Amino acid sequence: MSFETLSWVLVVLSLAGNVYVIKKNVIGQWLWAIANVGWIFFDLYIGAYSQAFLFTVYLGLCVWGIIAWTRDKQKMAQESA
């Protein structure tokens, strides 16, 4: 796969993640996390170290979001049971 194709795949994953986050679905956080890992490697390869750092922070925020949203969903399920 060429780097041009890879960048477009990452763009699609990032935008799909955005749609799911708007719908308050944790799948969006997972899509963002996957895309962020790809962007980190892509940016390191092209030498865009500051951008790689940015996507590393974004990845950490995604992990935080996944944990928080999953915990909130479990808590709501327990309260309604």
From residue 17, give the alpha-carbon distance in Å to each of 33, 44, 48, 53, 61. Answer: 9, 22, 23, 20, 13
Mean pLDDT, range 8-26, rounded to an integer = 96
pLDDT grade for 9, boundaries at 50, 70 and 90: very high
How far is Cα 21 from Cα 25, in angstroms, rounded to an integer? 5
pLDDT digits (tens, 9 = 90+) for 23-66: 999 999 999 999 999 999 999 999 999 999 999 999 999 999 99
pLDDT at 38: 96
pLDDT grade for 76, boundaries at 50, 70 and 90: confident
- Greater model confidence, 73 or 2: 2
